[in-house]
Structure 1
């Protein structure tokens, strides 16, 4: 399933027809928020203060049915490969800091394709797709420059995961940022990359934010804004979200200051729904469920696009989009086209730019044949099938900042079974149709069985803590141990 692209040939053909400068091919700023819930952004929740994001969304296109995986690593693997998790080996678990592999090197990933098409490629923030050898790292997979961390999470101030540092520029650890809040640090680094970019080349910047993943940490100036919220965990999450908004503001201003903004396509996306557990305090209201679940609250994500090249703006688009679709769509925007007929991702540019109906009519939430009970769900048209466990918590959690909505409605399910929902009529998953529509249930189960036949094997191998320990590499998480 290796992704192949006749990038060089296509690039030459395209450049023979048009002037292949930055005026023809936009800069691409892809911002991936971490654990941002459906109700954790201002345009969905008036108690959230995200003025920069709200303005961009209002002047762009907001996507109402945009999906990702229920957890961090699988979503990133889908974005970078263009394949669903059950086709790229990340259907079972997330990366661990001691996992001695990563996203399969059989895949030629998004920055590599864009680099072949003439783009300068930059990454700032969280990687989470493997680092045990150079070939798995951002620099080994198509990024010209990288500033950020390899593992799934860390302290926002010390930049340590546990006892050891996880922060570097390219391959060099950066021990000099202790005490600098990562939202501010990453804003500065991204702005510096913009400032030093060769304006004659198109830019792809992947700003993969640590915000608003745990631990809950934020400077007091952000926390004070939400003193009206009694729940301290939720107050911190809201402050972190505003800090994230300020990060985006700094980066956008850098694009404007250096003359790139009018030709920049910005995509903002969350990697999964918010974790609603106490002490993590994301919110997906009115959707059901949490991060790490197959409910809509774990998988339907905040997503909008902004850019002057969009032909239709200022509205909410109800077309179905999955995170895998951004791979072929951005390659198309960059002047190339994929010749990989097996790729799950679809080119949705006409949906994004013109408001045309989405070519996507179905997708896989997850298919995991290793677990018992199974952890599987698919969407076909208006209908969603959950087969086996969906994950917990499965509650409907109103935002604590709005006490007019009442308390948590318990939806916990501890026994595995099969459920069917019409997601268009019932996006909050309250009305199980499995008994009322046996023919539709049988049809969906048959489609699930058909899809299961193409499952890609899980490639995780036993963890090797001693070999991977940063004690062997000067105190920083580093490649070179597998």
Structure 2
């Protein structure tokens, strides 16, 4: 497949300059989300994976080193779309649907934007019902990337979790399952195809657009085109430690990691302790995982070429993030299949060893409230508006901050009531000043996390975090890798943060993990 590389159009526009092809001066907005990708995977965050388009967006835009999600797919997506915590919109213990909240689709559509979506929405509700005028995508947790439905003539049985139960949507239609008629179907490619077709369809409109492009890659099953996998054959033969060390050194060089901070201890197995067969399988897992991210970057390149062709590139804000850290879950147990890793007929997972590398330099993984679970790479690209190209901003942010930022940018009104529901007020803080070059100021509100046994609170430089009942206190100004617990040295600070967390968790109805009952919906989520 041809690799698309984005070429920046020369010339910078003043803020909200009227676009040449339409009268509305407000920018288009694109939010690109990937699934279960670690902090250090892409090139501009230290990785060896070939991501020239994302790297270019970072070089001509800016990166944030401390944007946070919730450590789990559907709560993260709920926070991102609503601007409130998942606990406040009914999406913290099961993915039945968003309530008492509006989505970015609702708010931006009400402000006159064309609202478009392609990709995953982990819910029992359709994005078409939540403010988006067009949507093609997965309404579930995970599915086969080559064929999420029934076997097609002449093809093997697609590896599936809960065969026949994965819901897909095309606008107001729901398919359970969805069997794509196209033999060249691959989730990343087709999410992009639909997104580009929407932009083409509405290209003559006077109104700006908001596109939510939510890829399922690189979430398992690890599946990719053979031509993309071939690029990475032998790339990971050096093993976990060598790749992690190379990434960390590159992160230090890029200014994303401070060498004065202690690097977290590795938790992967010793490469030499594995048998030849085990090493071969581990290499294959990472080769396919890298190929999936490479394919995402290629497709972002296609999108950028389309924007340039439509004359919309110079008036578009593009944001990129991951919904949680890399996953240690070995989900292929009980699924498996036949054929090689990477193929339609086999369900492979990355596993905790490579996930530890993927989340360099942090501790732990998806599902944890430590940085390895909740800290995402975050790129912002906005021609003519982001002045300090290639800069890195270190202020702490959270997905709840996206709604107030985009609402402010669009001049949108956030409602107090909508669809006969009383709407929870926005919980985040706008980072629009950061995009426009303002110096960082102290955050007004603390940030909170809770997913299952993981919980945390961040205020200023201090973060209290727990994995189960074991709490720790870290000074994130000097120890972002969370290596030195300071709760004994600063008991008053720790007690204050714990008090903030307890008050918040009570206010949003969080129950202690040991008291949470496993409903049918929760069991379904666990399988996702």
1:113-138 C-alpha deviation (Å, 9 max, x unpaired): 111111111100001122xxxxx311
Q: Separation in 2 of the partners of 1:269 and 1:430? A: 25
Alpha-carbon distance, 1:310 to partner? 2.0
Instruction: State the partner residue of 2:132.
Output: 143
Counterpart selection for 2:393 from 317, 326, 334: 317
Alpha-carbon distance, 1:45 to partner? 2.3
Counterpart selection for 2:454 from 375, 378, 387: 375
SS of equivalent residue, structure 1 residue 386: strand
Q: Separation in 2 of the partners of 1:19 and 1:48? A: 38
Instruction: State the partner residue of 1:129.
Output: 123
**Relative to 1, partners in 2 of residues 1:255 and 1:358: Cα closer, same or farther, differing over 3 Å?**
farther
Match status 1:102 vs 2:97: yes
Counterpart selection for 2:323 from 271, 292, 305: 271
Is the Cα contact below 8 Å between 1:321 and 1:358 reproduced in 2? no
Alpha-carbon distance, 1:386 to partner? 1.5
Instruction: State the partner residue of 1:232.
Output: 284
Alpha-carbon distance, 1:336 to partner? 2.1
Counterpart selection for 2:313 from 231, 237, 261: 261
Gaps of 5+ in 2: 1-15, 150-159, 238-282, 331-348, 417-423, 523-528
Is the Cα contact below 8 Å between 1:86 and 1:366 reproduced in 2? no
Instruction: State the partner residue of 2:520.
Output: 463
Alpha-carbon distance, 1:186 to partner? 1.5
Match status 1:243 vs 2:295: yes
Alpha-carbon distance, 1:92 to partner? 3.3
**Relative to 1, partners in 2 of residues 1:450 and 1:194: Cα closer, same or farther, differing over 3 Å?**
same
Q: How many residues align?
A: 407
Is the Cα contact below 8 Å between 1:367 and 1:375 reproduced in 2? yes
Q: Separation in 2 of the partners of 1:290 and 1:461? A: 23
Match status 1:111 vs 2:111: no
Q: Separation in 2 of the partners of 1:437 and 1:199? A: 58
Counterpart selection for 2:141 from 132, 152, 159: 152
Counterpart selection for 2:221 from 215, 225, 232: 215
Instruction: State the partner residue of 1:395.
Output: none
Q: Separation in 2 of the partners of 1:438 and 1:305? A: 38
**Relative to 1, partners in 2 of residues 1:234 and 1:429: Cα closer, same or farther, differing over 3 Å?**
same
TM-score (norm 2): 0.72
1:235-271 C-alpha deviation (Å, 9 max, x unpaired): 1111111011011111111111111111111011111
Match status 1:192 vs 2:197: yes
Instruction: State the partner residue of 1:442.
Output: 495
Is the Cα contact below 8 Å between 1:158 and 1:177 reproduced in 2? no
Q: What is the aligned-residue RMSD (CA, Å)?
A: 2.6
Q: Separation in 2 of the partners of 1:18 and 1:381? A: 36
**Relative to 1, partners in 2 of residues 1:362 and 1:157: Cα closer, same or farther, differing over 3 Å?**
same
Counterpart selection for 1:384 from 447, 463, 466: 463
Is the Cα contact below 8 Å between 2:89 and 2:98 reproduced in 1? yes
1:12-71 C-alpha deviation (Å, 9 max, x unpaired): xxxxx9979555101111101111110111112241110100001111010011111101
Match status 1:420 vs 2:459: no
Gaps of 5+ in 1: 1-16, 96-100, 131-135, 390-415, 466-482
Counterpart selection for 1:294 from 369, 382, 399: 369
Is the Cα contact below 8 Å between 1:56 and 1:306 reproduced in 2? yes
Instruction: State the partner residue of 2:153.
Output: none
**Relative to 1, partners in 2 of residues 1:120 and 1:170: Cα closer, same or farther, differing over 3 Å?**
same
Alpha-carbon distance, 1:73 to partner? 0.2
